A and B are shown apart, each in its own frame.
Chain A
Amino acid sequence: MNAPTKPIEAETLRHVRQPLPHDSGPKHVQGVAQYIDDIREPEGTLHVAIGQAPKARGRLVSLDVSAVRSMPGVVAVLTVADIPGKNDVSPAFGDDPLFVDSEISFLGQAVFAVVATSRDIARRAVKKAVMEIESETPSITVEDALARGETVLPDYAYGRGDVDAAVAGAPRRLEGRFRVGGQEHFYLEGQVAFAIPGEDGDIHVYSSTQHPTEVQHVVARVLDIPDSYVTCETRRMGGGFGGKESQATQWAVTASLAARVTGRPCKIRLDRDDDFILTGKRHDFRCDWRVGFDEEGRIQGYGVDLLARCGYSADLSAGVVDRAMFHADNAYWMPAVHIASKRLKTNTVSNTAFRGFGGPQGMLAIEHVMDQIAWATGRDPLDVRYANFYRPGENLTPYGMEVEETDTLHNLVRTLEETSRYRMRREEIAAFNASSPIMKRGIALTPVKFGISFTLTHMNQAGALVHVYQDGSVHLNHGGTEMGQGLYIKVAQVVAEEFGIAMERVRITATTTAKVPNTSPTAASSGSDLNGMAAKIAAGAIKRRMIAHAAETYGVPEDQITFRDDRVFIGNESIPFDELAKKCILARVRLSEAGHYKTPKITWDRQKGTGRPFFYFAYGAACSEVIVDTLTGENRLLRTDILHDVGRSINPAIDIGQIEGGFVQGMGWLTTEELVFGEDGHLLTHAPSTYKIPVASDVPADFRVALYPNTNREETIYRSKAVGEPPIMLANSVFCALADAIHSLDPSRPVPLNAPATPEAILRACEALRGRPMG
């Protein structure tokens, strides 16, 4: 393995860098970790189900719910008329109604809600409504939206130089149209919220959300009460992946409105099929690209139009498509470049955040273009990638941010090339393919460079609340939410480290807007960076006060006081941590602190399309080998080697879990996970029976994952790097390996493969290369 870019200094840490298990692990395995649907319901709790629009586009002429109301067990029917405040659950743009007023925008859209004594009754009752609708032909596809010219937000573009001239003047030119599919989150715990009404109109809502603050604000907005009347609490989610960033809100608001109207606790838990139909997904894109390059495959000009299918409303599409644009270069220098985007409006559910937030789509397009260049020049696809990597002097991104850490990716990829035996295996595969007419193998090694920070600058802040009690136990709270990614244990490690105490002393508590206010969503891979730092700041402030008190009491200089092994060492003597805590309380020293952190250095001028939107980049690379049955398109991933840069890991076990899980989720996105909408706007793949995420046997039997020894050049929490999203894009190697296998059928032709590479898509590409296009 190559030497890391910087020497790593020795450090003595007790908890940080340790591969501690997830704090809820023992509870998970016993079934005692409490999710919202597991909370013991107070007597009289009611259950809510959603009445859905049966058409994708049109006008609601009349709604007759009399049969719904008369069903035994139905307590209330909620419509737009029951909303005291604004009929708006959107995160920003005011275009997501809680209930349809008149305009119907997608099939399944919430028109009304039934509140009943049981979930079963509520679900049966919604079917009894009678709706009269004047329907119109819906826009379902990118092409439908282009034809109508409908968008949810204005077009946006940036770049540098004259791309058309650069492409026209290049020795080689290619252009094409590449489609990238969407993805359903399929968090195992579906959307759920439970609202309990309090006095004076207070609402306490338990929500499976990545963004408790937004839930709080939107509940208040819809109920027309101050934010301070609403508390949103989230102990854990059964998975989020972005699907509960903005789109958990509607259900929390529905439960809260039901609680307000009935005065009773109200719960809503979407059925899985309804969850598929009612909540947004990863955006699918059509990428129209053109590239000019030399015989070495070096890009001279790259232009891409990223046409995103946003669904019926803006939701988070501003940022999602921006991030697709920010990653349209991936790791490659482009002398002349133009990146344009359209946020197209279709009559489908509003697409939303999904791990990577648009980045994966923009990045896959350029990886596809790298392969196209390789096919055109006959060079090895990895060599084409090397030829285009950012390097000193050629390190300015299309959005004007300098890539300062150019050596990391280069060294990382070189290392992986060696450890995966990429070159030798490519030869072995060529020999195999030469003697195998039906089964074809393919290999690809692809890099990832992913920008870390919210691209909306103000969101890069976090708060934490730490209390030390007289017995030396510590209460930890912060604005980040736990969705399985291990944020809570990582932050607890930071706090335990700060105080030099055992992990058991740190009590992790549920995220709530009542303890830490005005937070950002747990998203953009930022959870540990932001909340870890805020918690360290809070704990550090308490520690400094404890040190000051000890210094004063014992007459010892502050720099001779240290916290370790659950004791405080004061000069030549030591006392237990809890003893110092007690002394502080008696001396009226405050042992509670609210920490706040904001990410430094970042700036972004969207108008000018320039700045430093990211604090730093996270890097990784993967090498995947596949086998394809060219008679059926069936395929299997045989081996994957991953080398990934998490800086200096706070918890390597948790980080490896994110890398492996992200890779497999990305593999699903690019292979078996296919969203199919009917012409009328019905989502036809609305359940796990028809929408296929990876199962255990899809994971490569030979799966080698390693952390790249690196540090973060920026001052992040313990010099770690964010890890939530980047690994998704390691799966680009699987897609490119599948294309490589197909390419062996006729190396003189490009492979017309779009994502997802389902068996059908693969067979279609195989037949095209055989010169007998399929149907």
Chain B
Amino acid sequence: MARDAIRFWRNGQPIEVSGFHPRTTLLDYLRLQERRVGTKEGCAEGDCGACTVALGRVWDGRVRYEPVNACILLLGQIDGAELVTVEDLAASGELHPVQSAMVAHHGSQCGFCTPGIVMSLFTLYHEDPQPLSRERINDALAGNLCRCTGYRPIVDAALDACASSPQDAFAQAGEATARALAELVDRQDVFIGCEARFFAAPASEASLSSLYAQHPDATLVAGCTDVGLWITKGMAELEKIIWLGRVAGLDRIEDGEDALTIGATVTHAEAFRRLGAIDPDLGELMRRFGSAQVRASGTVGGNIANGSPIGDLAPALIALGSTLELRQGESMRVLPLEDFFIAYRKQDRLPGEFVRRVAVPKLKGREAFRAYKVSKRFDEDISAVMGAFKFTLEGRRILEARIAFGGMAGIPKRASETEAALAGISLDDPSAWGDAMAAIARDYQPLDDHRASAAYRSTVARNLVLKALSETASGETRATRIIGLREALEAAE
């Protein structure tokens, strides 16, 4: 028997909500139904962070708070979580430590971004004790735009409030909350609505595949960081939504000796460290992926299944030789990731078929990996050009190159001409690199768009070949990078 309501924890109470329209966003629920208007709508597309709220879920027996953009999160997706909004932080007239630090450091001017910033800092406040650096705070704030302050006072407030271990009411209630959240967990499918209009959250792969087979016109949602925009911007009339977030097993990460296997609903936040362990450049790419809010909701599987032509992650995974596993009803198949992308926004996915998991091979001793994301802004931006390189070396010679670029074609695509030109060349002979750099022009005919011109993309792609080769040759990145220096990332490991 399916459950016909979602259940979540709020202000120390269990809440059940049913009968809502499947595309109701969490922000609309807060502002229009709960009439709690502290959480703001700044952009309704998950880029400004004014709507940031915290979701608490249990990990390893403890409640962990993550920031999410309420504007593009569906109400149904908070099932099983604790929901914390800006109104909940002050207790009996006393400001929360992040709130009082924000006031004391003059961290608000117009105040409209402030609730979201307070909530992002609230989740940082609850992070495991760690040395709190300015860089860590900048990462935590990358998804919160402020147009007034210039951020300096906000970062100072964070340094002040978030450096010590949490002692607020949420920390004190931690164990009780963990127990309460555990009680919300059941293995029941959730189905809210009717056959023509529903929000469903199946609990097993079996339920998912049969439901999706019955409703191949339904929209699958993992993190909703992209589908959310179809709703808020495209005004898409989505009537049937299947959320994958409760499907048992799809959230699994298998960290094998040869490969990292990432289930379809594993969020970027969860995959972050495991991917970073494969190569520091992959970790840096994940650090710059969207924002903390987007990484906490968005999934690796969704980013692939969605087939964005840019998809910052896909080129890196293709260069590493990743494979994708799909399921339709009872039948499963595995294909190389690059073969999944057919044309702009068109993927090799059959009706009723869903992405099950992606397997990312780990680097072997003789393999070198480099990834470069080139965007207008370092943080919370989509790449104009995304290049990833895997070189299999024999001594100082490249035996084989696997290269993939994003932003250079309608899909993430291998650079086969360049790969061929690199086979056999020496890392010690830069004069031989020119052919490979020139080959990029045969691999890609990029387009002009609002992110970059074709000329820029081609020039950057060519220069990235040079950069990857010189870095592999020297083993250093100090003289070739502004951020994401491998020396620093490796030292931090």
List residues of A whose CB falls within 8 A of some B CB. Answer: 19, 21-22, 24-33, 35, 37-38, 40, 123-124, 127, 185-190, 236-241, 271-273, 436-439, 483-486, 627, 629, 631-636, 653-654, 656-657, 660-665, 672, 674, 676, 684-685, 687-690, 692-699, 701, 703, 758-760, 763-764, 767, 774-775
Contact partners of A238 in chain B: CB under 8 A: 40, 110-113
Q: Verify A31–B115 contact, CB threshold 8 A.
A: yes
Q: Which chain A residue lies CB-closest to B451?
A: A690
Contact partners of A483 in chain B: CB under 8 A: 110
Contact partners of B45 in chain A: CB under 8 A: 272-273, 687-689
Q: Verify A24–B112 contact, CB threshold 8 A.
A: no
Q: Verify A439–B147 contact, CB threshold 8 A.
A: no
Q: Which chain B residue lies CB-closest to A272?
A: B43
Give the residue among A33, A484, A663, A703 with the most B Cβ atoms within 10 A.
A484
Contact partners of A684 in chain B: CB under 8 A: 449-450
**Known A35-B40, A35-B112; 16 more pairs at CB < 8 Å:** A29-B102, A29-B107, A30-B90, A31-B36, A187-B147, A188-B48, A188-B113, A189-B112, A238-B112, A241-B147, A485-B109, A688-B43, A695-B142, A695-B380, A697-B142, A763-B460
Q: Verify B138–A31 contact, CB threshold 8 A.
A: no
The answer to whether the Cβ of B447 comes within 8 Å of any Cβ in the partner chain is: no
Supposing A25-B103, A238-B111, A484-B111 touch, asked if A635 and B463 sit within 8 A by C-beta, the answer is no
Q: Verify B141–A774 contact, CB threshold 8 A.
A: no
Supposing A657-B109, A690-B450, A701-B134 touch, asked if A631 and B466 sit within 8 A by C-beta, the answer is yes
Q: Verify A629–B482 contact, CB threshold 8 A.
A: yes
B229 to chain A, nearest CB (A): 8
A483, B375: Cα distance in complex, Å: 31
A40, B137: Cα distance in complex, Å: 35
Q: Verify A672–B377 contact, CB threshold 8 A.
A: yes
Within 8 A of A (CB), among B126-155: 134-135, 137-139, 141-142, 144-155
A332, B273: Cα distance in complex, Å: 54
Q: Verify A188–B40 contact, CB threshold 8 A.
A: yes
One digit per residue, 1 when the CB lies within 8 angstroms of any chain A CB and 0 when it does not, for chain B 135-177 equals: 1011101101111111111110000000000000000000000
9 contacts between A and B (CB under 8 A): A25-B111, A29-B95, A236-B111, A239-B110, A271-B44, A436-B479, A654-B106, A684-B450, A695-B141
Q: Which chain A residue lies CB-closest to B481?
A: A629
Q: Verify B43–A30 contact, CB threshold 8 A.
A: no
Contact of A438 among B37, B232, B479 (CB under 8 A): B479
Contact of A699 among B47, B108, B152, B377 (CB under 8 A): B152
Contact partners of A37 in chain B: CB under 8 A: 31, 37, 41
What is the number of residues of chain B that contact chain A, defined by CB distance less than 8 Å?
Answer: 91
Majority secondary structure, B binding face = loop
Q: Verify B99–A438 contact, CB threshold 8 A.
A: no
Contact partners of A22 in chain B: CB under 8 A: 106, 108-109, 111
B142 to chain A, nearest CB (A): 5
A436, B450: Cα distance in complex, Å: 32
Q: Verify B454–A635 contact, CB threshold 8 A.
A: no
Q: Verify A24–B379 contact, CB threshold 8 A.
A: no
Contact of A661 among B109, B235, B464, B479 (CB under 8 A): B109
A236, B459: Cα distance in complex, Å: 47
A28, B99: Cα distance in complex, Å: 9
A272, B232: Cα distance in complex, Å: 10
Contact partners of A759 in chain B: CB under 8 A: 374-376, 384, 456
Q: Which chain B residue lies CB-closest to A664?
A: B150
A676, B450: Cα distance in complex, Å: 6
Contact partners of B380 in chain A: CB under 8 A: 695
Within 8 A of A (CB), among B75-121: 85-87, 89-90, 95, 98-100, 102-104, 106-115, 118
Contact partners of A662 in chain B: CB under 8 A: 150
A657, B374: Cα distance in complex, Å: 31
Q: Verify B111–A693 contact, CB threshold 8 A.
A: no
Contact partners of B333 in chain A: CB under 8 A: none
Contact partners of A272 in chain B: CB under 8 A: 42-45, 48
Q: Verify B87–A29 contact, CB threshold 8 A.
A: no
B343 to chain A, nearest CB (A): 22
A240 to chain B, nearest CB (A): 8
Contact partners of B454 in chain A: CB under 8 A: 775
Within 8 A of A (CB), among B434-473: 449-456, 458-460, 463-464, 466-467
Q: Verify B458–A687 contact, CB threshold 8 A.
A: no
One digit per residue, 1 when the CB lies within 8 angstroms of any chain A CB and 0 when it does not, for chain B 480-492 equals: 1111000000000
Supposing A634-B482, A696-B142, A760-B384 touch, asked if A774 and B456 sit within 8 A by C-beta, the answer is yes
Q: Verify B464–A27 contact, CB threshold 8 A.
A: no
Contact partners of A485 in chain B: CB under 8 A: 109, 148
**Contacts between chains A and B (CB distance < 8 A), count:** 265
Within 8 A of A (CB), among B58-86: 85-86
Contact partners of B145 in chain A: CB under 8 A: 186, 188, 688, 693, 695
| A-B CB proximity, top 9 nearest | A775-B455, A31-B38, A484-B110, A238-B112, A28-B111, A664-B150, A484-B109, A31-B86, A688-B47
B226 to chain A, nearest CB (A): 11
List residues of B whose CB falls within 8 A of some A CB. Answer: 31, 35-45, 47-48, 50, 85-87, 89-90, 95, 98-100, 102-104, 106-115, 118, 134-135, 137-139, 141-142, 144-155, 232-233, 235, 372, 374-382, 384, 449-456, 458-460, 463-464, 466-467, 479-483
A356 to chain B, nearest CB (A): 15
Q: Verify A696–B137 contact, CB threshold 8 A.
A: yes
Q: Verify B467–A631 contact, CB threshold 8 A.
A: yes
Q: Verify A40–B35 contact, CB threshold 8 A.
A: yes
Supposing A484-B109, A695-B145, A759-B374 touch, asked if A687 and B43 sit within 8 A by C-beta, the answer is yes
Q: Verify A687–B110 contact, CB threshold 8 A.
A: no
B364 to chain A, nearest CB (A): 28
Contact partners of A33 in chain B: CB under 8 A: 111
A187 to chain B, nearest CB (A): 6
A656, B149: Cα distance in complex, Å: 9
Q: Verify A29–B467 contact, CB threshold 8 A.
A: no
Q: Verify A764–B456 contact, CB threshold 8 A.
A: yes
Q: Verify A698–B44 contact, CB threshold 8 A.
A: no
Q: Verify A767–B110 contact, CB threshold 8 A.
A: no
Q: Verify A21–B104 contact, CB threshold 8 A.
A: yes
Q: Verify B459–A763 contact, CB threshold 8 A.
A: yes
A689, B46: Cα distance in complex, Å: 9
Contact of B37 among A38, A239, A484, A685 (CB under 8 A): A38
Q: Which chain B residue lies CB-closest to A30?
A: B90
Contact partners of B118 in chain A: CB under 8 A: 29, 31
Contact partners of B150 in chain A: CB under 8 A: 657, 660-665, 694, 699
Contact partners of A674 in chain B: CB under 8 A: 376, 450
A256, B134: Cα distance in complex, Å: 47
A437, B430: Cα distance in complex, Å: 15
A661 to chain B, nearest CB (A): 4
Contact partners of B155 in chain A: CB under 8 A: 696, 699
Supposing A30-B86, A695-B380, A758-B376 touch, asked if A767 and B148 sit within 8 A by C-beta, the answer is no
Q: Which chain A residue lies CB-closest to B151?
A: A696
Q: Which chain B residue lies CB-closest to A188?
A: B112
Contact partners of A760 in chain B: CB under 8 A: 384, 452-453, 456
Q: Which chain B residue lies CB-closest to A273?
A: B233
Contact of B235 among A123, A236, A438 (CB under 8 A): A123
A657, B157: Cα distance in complex, Å: 14
Contact partners of A484 in chain B: CB under 8 A: 108-112, 148
A662, B152: Cα distance in complex, Å: 12
A690, B310: Cα distance in complex, Å: 13
Contact of B455 among A19, A26, A627, A774 (CB under 8 A): A774
B397 to chain A, nearest CB (A): 24
B312 to chain A, nearest CB (A): 13
A582 to chain B, nearest CB (A): 31
Q: Verify B377–A657 contact, CB threshold 8 A.
A: no
Q: Which chain B residue lies CB-closest to A683?
A: B450
Give the residue among A239, A485, A663 with the most B Cβ atoms within 10 A.
A239
B29 to chain A, nearest CB (A): 13
A439, B38: Cα distance in complex, Å: 45
A189, B154: Cα distance in complex, Å: 19
